């Protein structure tokens, strides 16, 4: 299997990045990833203030997928996520949201033991591995890996885990897929500015879809379909995620626009992904029983 190591990483998702590797449509590829601090925090004595900020949010890649052209959709099946044996968190004065009510900064190393992240002697949390940063290159100017957007990026969506399928836009030839910023556990919102940040490896199968009308980024779990949108404000991101799913229901399921609105109001769950990045991210979750009832097949 093709494996991309952490020595080939980017801090900007850009059409100008040289591919770290090339693969065929339908190939399975492993991305080894550093944590969001670039592995700089190895002890609790090291603080966020001492970080080299040019080395934050590294995304491994980019991967050039042969046959991918602007206007296509890249289907990324997340087959597995392996995690390191410890994670790290920081909490710092001035950072959103809870940093507004503390002084100073702390670093916490969390051992991964028996399938759990150990927070302290009282609390351990079952691992729920997810990918914080995953995206393709945008068509125009590059976008920092710390920022989410229409290309994906730093969406910090707790649902992007093993066994799910993420659909991303192809904006440039080869798509230039990159990813990093794994979390062992994270709450929706990421209100203290990080999850349990951790290094690891993600195995994905990548396929190029021609003529696919899904609004991207779009995520499928075994039970749910969801649109994911990022915008300057949480209000805009929430509205955009809702309207993207509404547009999908109307255009792809041929649903009446009033019915689609009513349906989302009773069966759609609007959820926060994160409110701490340069753009905020929300998702609209819909049970797949809806698409099934309308005979819609995801590719
Ligand atoms: Ca993140
Ligand atoms: Ca993170």
Express each pLDDT in 233-280 by its tens digit: 999 999 999 999 999 999 999 999 999 999 999 999 999 999 999 999
Ligand nearest the Cα of residue 183 is 2
Centroid of ligand 1 to alpha carbon of 128 (angstroms):
15
DSSP symbols for the chain: -EEE-TTSEESEE-TTSPPSEEE-TT-EEEEEE--TTTT---STTS-GGGS-GGGSS-EEEEEEETT--TT-EEEEEEEEEEE-SEEEEEEETTSTTGGGG--SEEEEEEEEETTEEE-SSS-EEE---EEEEEE---SSS-EETT-EETTEEE---TT--TT-EEEEE--STT--EEEEEEESS--TB-TTS--SEE-EEEEEEEEEESS----SSEEE-SSEEEEEEEESSHHHHHHHHHHHHHHHHHHHS---HHHHHHHHHHH-EEEEEESSSSSEEEEEEEEHHHHHHTT----
Instruction: Please report which confidence band the pLDDT of residue 48 belongs to, taking 50, 70 and 90 as the band edges.
Output: confident
pLDDT at 50 over 90: no
Centroid of ligand 2 to alpha carbon of 19 (angstroms):
24
Centroid of ligand 1 to alpha carbon of 261 (angstroms):
31
What's the pLDDT score for residue 92? Answer: 93
- CA distances in angstroms from 125 to 31, 57, 209, listed in the order given: 25, 24, 37
Ligand nearest the Cα of residue 276 is 1
What's the pLDDT score for residue 290? Answer: 98
What's the pLDDT score for residue 142? Answer: 98
Write down the pTM of the prediction: 0.97
Ligand nearest the Cα of residue 197 is 2
Ligand nearest the Cα of residue 146 is 1
Ligand nearest the Cα of residue 279 is 1
What's the pLDDT score for residue 87? Answer: 98
Centroid of ligand 2 to alpha carbon of 181 (angstroms):
5
Centroid of ligand 2 to alpha carbon of 61 (angstroms):
17
Average pLDDT of the chain?
Answer: 97
Centroid of ligand 2 to alpha carbon of 121 (angstroms):
24
Centroid of ligand 2 to alpha carbon of 232 (angstroms):
19
| Residues around ligand 1, an ion, CB closer than 5 A | 132, 154, 156, 181
Q: What is the pLDDT of residues 89-99, one digit of tens each?
A: 999 999 889 99
pLDDT > 70 in the chain, percent:
100
Centroid of ligand 2 to alpha carbon of 186 (angstroms):
9
pLDDT > 90 in the chain, percent:
96
Q: What is the pLDDT of residues 34-44, one digit of tens each?
A: 999 999 999 99
Ligand nearest the Cα of residue 184 is 2
Q: What is the pLDDT of residues 159-211, one digit of tens each?
A: 999 999 999 999 999 999 999 999 999 999 999 999 999 999 999 999 999 99
Ligand nearest the Cα of residue 134 is 1
Centroid of ligand 1 to alpha carbon of 120 (angstroms):
23
Centroid of ligand 1 to alpha carbon of 17 (angstroms):
21
Centroid of ligand 2 to alpha carbon of 183 (angstroms):
6
Count Cβ atoms within 10 A of the Cβ of residue 203 and give its class: 0-12 exposed, 13-18 middle, 19 or more buried: middle
Q: Measured between alpha carbons, how far is 117 from 96 in angstroms, rounded to an integer?
A: 23
């Amino acid at each position: 299997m093709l494996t991309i190591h952490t020595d080939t990483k980017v801090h900007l998702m850009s059409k100008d990045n040289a591919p770290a590797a090339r693969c065929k449509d339908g190939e399975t590829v492993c991305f080894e990833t550093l944590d969001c601090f670039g592995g700089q925090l190895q002890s609790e004595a090291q603080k966020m203030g001492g970080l080299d900020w040019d080395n934050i949010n590294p995304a491994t890649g980019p991967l050039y997928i042969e046959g991918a052209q602007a206007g296509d959709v890249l289907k990324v099946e997340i087959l597995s996520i392996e995690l390191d044996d410890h994670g790290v968190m920081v909490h710092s004065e001035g950072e959103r949201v809870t940093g507004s009510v503390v002084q100073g900064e702390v670093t916490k190393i969390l051992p991964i033991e028996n399938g759990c992240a150990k927070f302290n002697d009282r609390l351990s949390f079952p691992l729920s591995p997810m990918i914080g940063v995953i995206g393709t290159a945008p068509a125009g100017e590059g976008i920092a890996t710390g920022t989410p957007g229409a290309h994906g990026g730093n969406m910090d969506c707790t649902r992007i885990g093993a066994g799910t399928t993420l659909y991303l836009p192809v904006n440039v030839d080869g798509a230039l897929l990159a990813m990093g910023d794994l979390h062992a556990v994270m709450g929706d919102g990421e209100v203290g500015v990080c999850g349990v940040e951790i290094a690891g490896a993600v195995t994905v199968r990548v396929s190029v879809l021609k003529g696919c009308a899904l609004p991207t980024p779009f995520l499928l779990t075994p039970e749910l379909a969801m649109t994911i949108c990022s915008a300057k404000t949480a209000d805009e991101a929430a509205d955009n995620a809702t309207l993207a799913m509404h547009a999908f229901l109307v255009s792809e399921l041929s649903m009446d626009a009033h019915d689609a609105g009513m349906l989302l109001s009773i069966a759609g769950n609007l959820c926060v992904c994160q409110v701490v990045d340069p753009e905020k991210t929300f998702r609209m979750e819909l049970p797949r029983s809806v698409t099934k009832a309308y005979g819609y097949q995801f590719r």
